[in-house]
Amino acid sequence: MKRLSILFALVLLTLTPVSAQQQSGIEVSLSSGYVLPSSPMTFSNYWKMQYGVGVGVGIPMSETVTLVGSVEYYKFALKPAGISSSFDTQYMRDIWAFTDVSLAPTADPSSVASASATIRFSPSHRSGPLSPYVLAGVGVMSLSLGEISLPTTSVMTANGSNISMTALQTITGGSTTSALAQFGVGLDVHMTSLVNLFVEARYVHGFSNGLGTSYIPLTAGINVRL
């Protein structure tokens, strides 16, 4: 009995280091970056990114192919310069002989939330410190555009006095949910056997009504294998 106990203890001691070194292969990533709105005009011209974050889980399918599920959220603020460039206040001065015409646009924030499944293909895998990769995937996108208020104040001089008039226009916002497709390229930087840093550029297109909604995320993040 004593010998069996000693043998059992030796087996446990032998297996313990092996078990400790085993890894599931699952990857968990956290990223952030900058998003360039691409279309339609009411998205690309009038909004600029405030902040965003993405979380992903990758499951290796082979030495070079990984299936990645991810969720992302990006928030956008109004871009006054984009509004000003789209409305010709000088034209109003010339045609209507206004002394001054000014815009003071305001709006609530806009946002994009998405969930996607992506195939990532890395030809060089982990054979060196740098591994380029390509990716393509599908998913669903929820877009919320804030309504933009455009109070236009016009000043006219009559009999030596300034007469001010304000007209309110709006650019309609709203929310929509649609399917999306995306593709892109990236680069893994291998820090340790378990940790990678990465940079990535993608093109994302949501198949909403009309022209659809497109944007380009330029992101960086960290990827940890469990």
Global pTM?
0.80
Residue 150 domain-assigned (yes or no) = yes
Which of 137, 134, 121 has the alpha carbon at shortest distance from 71? 137
The whole-number mean pLDDT for each consecutive block of 10 residues of the chain, a chain of 226 residues, reads: 40 36 75 95 92 96 94 95 75 64 86 97 76 96 92 73 76 91 96 94 90 93 94
Counting the structural domains of the chain, the total is 1
Give the domain CATH number at 66.
2.40.160.20
Residue 13 domain-assigned (yes or no) = no
Whether 112 contacts 143, CB under 8 Å: yes
**E strand or H helix that includes residue 33:** strand 27-39
Whether 21 contacts 224, CB under 8 Å: no
Residue 1 domain-assigned (yes or no) = no
Whether 209 contacts 176, CB under 8 Å: yes
Domain membership of residue 82 as a residue range:
23-225
**Spatial distance between the Cα atoms of 122 and 38, rounded to a whole number of angstroms:** 27
Residue 8 domain-assigned (yes or no) = no
CA angle 49-55-58, nearest 5°? 135
Whether 105 contacts 149, CB under 8 Å: yes
**Spatial distance between the Cα atoms of 6 and 21, rounded to a whole number of angstroms:** 24
Give per-residue pLDDT as tens, 4-32: 344 334 333 333 343 333 446 899 999 99
Give per-residue pLDDT as tens, 113-144: 999 999 999 987 556 788 999 999 999 999 99
